[in-house]
Structure 1
Amino acid sequence: MAGRDERVVRALVDAHGRTYAEEAGIRLRDTPQPLYRLLVLAHLLSARIRGSIAVATARALHEAGLRDPRRMAAADWQERVDALGRGGYRRYDERTATQLGEEAELLIERWGGDLRGLREEAGGEVPELRRLLQVFPGVGPAGADIFLREVQRVWPGTAPYLDAKALQGARRLELPQDPNRLTGLAGRTEPAVLAAALVRAAVDEKVAEDALDRAGS
């Protein structure tokens, strides 16, 4: 019979194990466009705004054709503002529109528009990846963590990446704080899925309560 912690992790993942990239409609692959879309999503999610608004805005940018760095850089500022507004990202729209343009230009100039170049420059080392991600305007520690939590699905060398926010969710569920123990409890569940589920428990107490109820804990 599964132990208490294993039951809680299983219940959490079964009910809430959806990555934010999936929610935003990003079919994550180790290719330039989906990696760029993930960077933009991480940027949006890192602001003090509801996750659902950030996800909707990532979709709106894609629908507006701003789905790769060259298109983002070529768009005028107002075009970016309008797309952000359609997603509901109005509180930070003007500043973010500027940052997205600068972010795209930097990615093109330094890594040819391909985040795999950033990974190569970092030598695949997670601390260096985290540092380099923060050279992008508007991407601070929280944004870098979001990107790394999600990208471990296609950059397995970064796994298991369970940052402070994911571990906050584990604490709320009274689960171990060691990433390797948590991934062990999750069995075959991908670390990216586990991380997303734990983050959802961290930001929404009802998610944690639901998982505990399902686990009979």
Structure 2
Amino acid sequence: MSTKEQRSVAAELDRRAGRTYADEAGIRLEDTPIPLFELLVLTMLLSARISAEIAVGAARELFDAGLRNPKAVIDADRSAIIAALGRGHYARYDESTATRLTEGSHLLIDTYDGDLRKLASACDGDVGKARELLQEFKGIGPVGADIFLREVQDVWPWVAPFYDPKSLGAAQDLNLPADPEKLADLTPSSNAKFAAALLRASLDKDLRESLTG
């Protein structure tokens, strides 16, 4: 496939599927404490074995309930957290998730004064270190750390270009380069949006086939 053809496929994919999960959850992502915390919460929800649609809906319910910063989560009644998760149809994991959200909020305050920018500073540009530190939050494993970094890369430019294994696999299926730097060169909008589009393509056979057929 020529570079021109690759750019055409990338542009069409981005047009049809280039929306981050943070955007879907109503997070106006900036390099400030509240939206970064909201992304951490969304990452915890997306890390469970549950659909992304339900995880995004549950995140919206938590934020609508005022649980938008670690202190609010710690101060909230456990029943309020569980109720918000239930409204988002996250009932299967509501008890364990309520615990993880509270414990994660304590860790964020105790270690980073409630500000994930201090986690970024501790990494000093080392993406591998960021993956390690993110996994100190219970409920976030390697896949969850990749979710956070994929979503945050436009506001933490030192992370970019970040394309996780699923995104790279989809790129290969679409005859695009399975290389982050080369994908960044093809990106029609932003790395975060294009990586999200590739992830969605990895989960949608019809989308992949429509782009390669």
Residue of structure 2 in register with 1:177 after alignment: 178
Residue of structure 2 in register with 1:211 after alignment: 211
* Corresponding letter in the other structure for 2:200: R
Residue of structure 1 in register with 2:13 after alignment: 12
Q: What are the Cα deviations for residues 3-30 of structure 1, in whole angstroms up to 9, with x where unaligned? A: 3222111110011111111111100010
* Corresponding letter in the other structure for 2:49: R
CA 1:190–1:144: 2 relative to 1, 3 Å: same
- Equivalent positions of 1:137-176 (< 5 A) are 137-176=138-177
Residue of structure 1 in register with 2:113 after alignment: 112
CA contact 1:124–1:158 (8 Å) conserved in 2: yes
Structure 1's consecutive aligned runs of 4 or more residues displaced over 6 angstroms after TM superposition are none
Q: Does 1:189 align with 2:184?
A: no
- Using the TM superposition, give the Cα deviation of residue 62 of structure 1 relative to its aligned residue in structure 2, in angstroms: 0.3
Distance 1:78 1:207 in 2: 40
- Using the TM superposition, give the Cα deviation of residue 200 of structure 1 relative to its aligned residue in structure 2, in angstroms: 0.5
The Cα RMSD (Å) is 1.4
Residue of structure 1 in register with 2:25 after alignment: 24
- Using the TM superposition, give the Cα deviation of residue 209 of structure 1 relative to its aligned residue in structure 2, in angstroms: 2.8
- Secondary structure of the equivalent of 2:158? helix
Distance 2:208 2:91 in 1: 29
- Using the TM superposition, give the Cα deviation of residue 2 of structure 1 relative to its aligned residue in structure 2, in angstroms: 6.0
Distance 1:121 1:37 in 2: 20
- Using the TM superposition, give the Cα deviation of residue 202 of structure 1 relative to its aligned residue in structure 2, in angstroms: 0.9
- Secondary structure of the equivalent of 2:29? coil
* Corresponding letter in the other structure for 2:120: R
Residue of structure 2 in register with 1:52 after alignment: 53
Distance 2:180 2:159 in 1: 12
Q: Give the % identical residues.
A: 51
- Equivalent positions of 1:93-108 (< 5 A) are 93-108=94-109
Q: Tell me whether 131-140 or 2-11 shows the greater mean CA deviation.
A: 2-11
Runs of 5+ in structure 2 lacking a partner?
A: none
* Corresponding letter in the other structure for 1:208: R
* Corresponding letter in the other structure for 1:8: V
CA contact 1:172–1:201 (8 Å) conserved in 2: no
Q: What are the Cα deviations for residues 139-185 of structure 1, in whole angstroms up to 9, with x where unaligned? A: 11111101000101101111000011211221232321111111112
Residue of structure 2 in register with 1:42 after alignment: 43
Q: Tell me whether 156-165 or 74-83 shows the greater mean CA deviation.
A: 74-83
TM-score, length-scaled by structure 2: 0.95
Number of residue equivalences: 212
CA contact 1:15–1:211 (8 Å) conserved in 2: no
Distance 2:172 2:78 in 1: 42
- Equivalent positions of 1:64-83 (< 5 A) are 64-83=65-84
Q: What are the Cα deviations for residues 86-137 of structure 1, in whole angstroms up to 9, with x where unaligned? A: 1111111111111011001100111010000111111121000110000001
Distance 2:161 2:206 in 1: 25
* Corresponding letter in the other structure for 2:78: W
